[in-house]
Amino acid sequence: MEGAHGLFVPMATAPYDHDEPLAGSAPGVLWALLTPLLALLDRIGLLTAPPDALEAAADRLDLVAERCGPAVATYNNPAKTLAAELADGLPVIWTEGAAAGPAGRRFAAVLAELSGVPAAVAELPEALAAHDALLAGPLAASADPDDFFRDRVSEPPALHARVVLLRDRPLGGLTAAPAARDLALGHDTPISELEPEPGGEIEALAELIAVTDFTAVYLALASRA
């Protein structure tokens, strides 16, 4: 139509084998789909995602790739470290903050999809009541202490919970993180924490998703080794 104006948003091609397409939650696919959608929603005024925020998120993803790549040793690699901590454990994912919530739900979905690892996920402070009984039950580390004389070849170790706390800036500056740590440690349940570097909300979301995506991939690779 003459005189009409619109926004053309190119859809990036996701990096997958066309014979075996990956699901939308698979690492590498999400941002190929999400970035043009964010640009469109910003253009029509439904949310704020200006080009500089998307560029900052892309830079943050590059930094995470440098920190969490396969060539980086475990002691300097937060994704490999978290994967090692979650090995043979049940992830109990607690989130706090606007970016951490969706990142935690995605982490649980990717864990199930890539490595078949189930995970419980909830937002703080509701998670404290929702998962109290779970941590007090047979999944607590103290419920079934490791038997020194257990046959480590034929008898796999007992499954124990491990809390993963994903934190972003909490609303109003209030935080339930201290109570979360007290609850986990009070049930002898170890806790891992991830918190993004300072920046915008999209940057925080990008970092949390990227680190946990790397973690899920490393767990999947370990399960197939």
Q: Would you state the pLDDT for residue 33?
A: 84
CA–CA dist 191, 195 (Å, integer): 13
Position 109 pLDDT exceeds 70: yes
* Residues contacting 191, CB < 8 A, separation 6+: 162, 163, 164, 165, 180, 181, 184, 185
Position 4 pLDDT exceeds 80: no
Helices H, strands E: what count in the chain?
8, 4
Residue type, 35: T
Q: Would you state the pLDDT for residue 12?
A: 44
Position 14 pLDDT exceeds 50: no
- Residue pLDDT, tens place only, 154-212: 666 678 899 999 999 766 778 999 999 999 999 999 999 999 999 999 999 999 999 99
pTM above 0.85, yes or no: no
State the first-to-last Cα distance of the chain, in angstroms, to the nearest integer: 58
Least confidently predicted of 70-74, 100-104, 106-110, 170-174: 170-174
Q: Would you state the pLDDT for residue 153?
A: 57
Residue type, 49: A
Decide: 207 and 60 in contact? Cβ < 8 Å.
yes
Q: Would you state the pLDDT for residue 152?
A: 52
Q: Where are the domains of the chain?
A: 30-145+155-224
CA–CA dist 89, 108 (Å, integer): 13
144: tokens are 């079934």
Q: Would you state the pLDDT for residue 132?
A: 93
Report the chain's mean pLDDT, rounded to a whole number. 84
Q: Strands 120-123 and 160-167, how do they pair?
A: unpaired
CA–CA dist 181, 91 (Å, integer): 15
CA–CA dist 104, 131 (Å, integer): 15
* Residues contacting 192, CB < 8 A, separation 6+: 82, 85, 86, 162, 163, 164, 165
* Residues contacting 216, CB < 8 A, separation 6+: 27, 107, 110, 111, 114, 115
96: tokens are 């706090």
- Residue pLDDT, tens place only, 28-79: 678 888 888 999 998 999 989 999 999 999 999 999 999 999 999 999 999 9
**What is the fold, at CATH topology level, of the domain defined by 30-145+155-224?**
Rossmann fold (3.40.50)
∠ CA 197-214-48, nearest 5°, is: 45
